[in-house]
Amino acid sequence: MSLYSLIFALSCSILYIFAYTDPSVVNPQLVKRFEYKYSFKGPHLAFKDGTVPFWTFGGSAIASDEQVRVTPSIRSQRGRIWTKNPLVADHWLLDVKLRVTGRGRVGADGMAIWFTEKPGSEGSVFGSNDQWNGLGIFLDSFDNDALQNNPIIAVMINDGTKVYDHHNDGSSQIQGSCIRDFRNKPLPIQLKIEYINQALTIYINNGISHDDNAFEFCTRIDRVQLPKSGFLGVTAATGGLADDHDVLEFLTSTYSDRQQLAENQAANDEQARKYKEEYEKYEQELKQQQVDYQKQHPEATTRINEQQIYESEYDREFRVILEGQDQIRLSLTGLDNKMVELLGRIERLSTMGGGQQQIAGQAQGAAGIATGVPSDVARIQDINRVISANSDMTRTIQGFSQVLTDLQQKVNNIQSNFGNQKPSGTGQQVVGGPSTDPAILNELRDTIRQIKSETNTLLHKPNTQVKCASVDGAGDSTCLGPYTFFTIIALQIVAIIGYMTFKNRREQLSRKYL
């Protein structure tokens, strides 16, 4: 019989061990989400300065890369670690991997996992304060009431009024428990603490099996009323006996109802739509206010017309062409003035030409003037040269006139094309038109340059070719005129007479003294 009963007990215990199934798998309506701000795990659990992100320490707790040692195995220690922020969720799961080890056959005091309205402070309940509001799960190592029921995993929910009965291991206060020896196991033990639909369920992996998913049921409490938001924490304490209380992993997940999530999303969308409507309404009001202000203060509103401020490419091209035209006109005007001046001189020379030719005839007959001396014959040659240059210039100007006419026609064509295309201020549209080929513009520029250079050449020609054309020796002529010549002769005569007079007086004086 004893063998049968043993087999039966083993079968029952095997039945209790099962592969844990996540609530989101059991209930597809639930959507799981990992909460990294309420979790820690190794490796690199702590920063170099010993802090754990999103968590705070107190008491004897020390964090290393692999774990948080809440208390060392030293007597009368209290340590704690709490989340910095409260968790706000209707459904959640804590996955805690921990280890309680000590040299003694019996350890103390134990460890607690909390979900409370406020973060705990140092106190007498496994290192945390009494009269907490929320959930406490105790890993009570020491059998205070000597009922041989420790170590035990016990659940106690407090509304902030109950004082923990430490001497009796809270036996009359705990709502659920399972007796498990969690101390000195070869592997860390794991707890899964589910709070789904106000039902609290605890599973334990006892640290013997290498199967991380081999959990056994510990306890379940229905209709548990927990605060809407709570701080998560782990605390531990030692007494006359001491254990190392280490937490290797603390992973928090929350679950949301799929339908609720969709409703929330819809509500968010609705809110976003309302914000958008509000924004559009505000924008319209602002525009209306601007219009009203402009009506009330017409003098203060100056409409900025960008087309008036900025010169378009079309305008720039056209301005360059007009400036080129202006330069051509100025050059031709200068040329015309020079021509009039030259013609005036030619006429004057022509009127003087008859008498001078006679003088030239007489001079040739009498003396036969040698070369190198300015003569009337040379002047006649100059006149002939000027006349021939004048003819060349006239022909060139006629050529200019023809070119200018062509140029004018081309510019008119461009203007008419620009007018037909009605440019909107963007030069690219204008340049891209069929009649404004860049080749034509280049041709225009080349023609303008050619005319300018030729004009400059012509403007300098009269001064070089018509040297000494002036008969009166005035102006810019470099030749010696007759008046200058006679003036110099007269001055020389006066100087000679003066010198002779001075010489005679000197001779008379010398004779007087002799």
- Least distance from C-beta 170 to Ca ion, angstroms? 8
C-alpha to C-alpha distance for 488 and 228, rounded to whole angstroms: 127
Among 6, 106, 147, 496, binds Ca ion (CB under 5 A): 147
CB closer to Ca ion, 10 vs 106 = 106
- Least distance from C-beta 237 to Ca ion, angstroms? 10
Number of residues that bind Ca ion (CB under 5 A): 9
Answer yes or no: are the C-beta atoms of 250 and 61 closer than 8 Å.
no
Among 77, 150, 235, 470, binds Ca ion (CB under 5 A): 150
C-alpha to C-alpha distance for 356 and 274, rounded to whole angstroms: 108
DSSP-derived secondary structure letter, 36: G
CB closer to Ca ion, 172 vs 351 = 172
CB closer to Ca ion, 52 vs 139 = 139
C-alpha to C-alpha distance for 313 and 323, rounded to whole angstroms: 15
Cis geometry, peptide bond prior to residue 298 (ω within 30 degrees of 0): no
Q: Which of 448, 452, 431 is nearest to 321 (CA)?
A: 448
- Least distance from C-beta 16 to Ca ion, angstroms? 22
Residue 382 engages Ca ion in binding (rule: CB under 5 A): no
Among 56, 149, 209, 417, binds Ca ion (CB under 5 A): 149
Distances (CA, A) of 64 to 44, 234, 476: 8, 16, 106
Residue 140 engages Ca ion in binding (rule: CB under 5 A): yes
Residue 124 engages Ca ion in binding (rule: CB under 5 A): no
Binding piece for Ca ion, criterion CB under 5 A, among 145-153, 156-164, 383-391, 441-449 = 145-153
- Least distance from C-beta 140 to Ca ion, angstroms? 4
Binding piece for Ca ion, criterion CB under 5 A, among 123-131, 138-146, 254-262, 504-512 = 138-146
Q: What are 80's two structure tokens?
A: 């704690």
- Give, as ranges, the residues between 153 and 182 that touch Ca ion (CB under 5 A): 169
Q: Which of 139, 73, 74 is nearest to 111 (CA)?
A: 139
Among 56, 144, 327, 421, binds Ca ion (CB under 5 A): 144
CB closer to Ca ion, 140 vs 382 = 140
C-alpha to C-alpha distance for 17 and 85, rounded to whole angstroms: 35
Residue 143 engages Ca ion in binding (rule: CB under 5 A): yes
DSSP-derived secondary structure letter, 183: B
- Least distance from C-beta 171 to Ca ion, angstroms? 7
Q: Cite the DSSP H helix spans in 367-478.
A: 376-421, 427-431, 438-465
Residue 142 engages Ca ion in binding (rule: CB under 5 A): yes
Residue 216 engages Ca ion in binding (rule: CB under 5 A): no
Which residues have CB under 8 Å from 370's CB, separation 6+?
none
Residues in the site for Ca ion, rule: CB under 5 A? Answer: 140, 142-145, 147, 149-150, 169
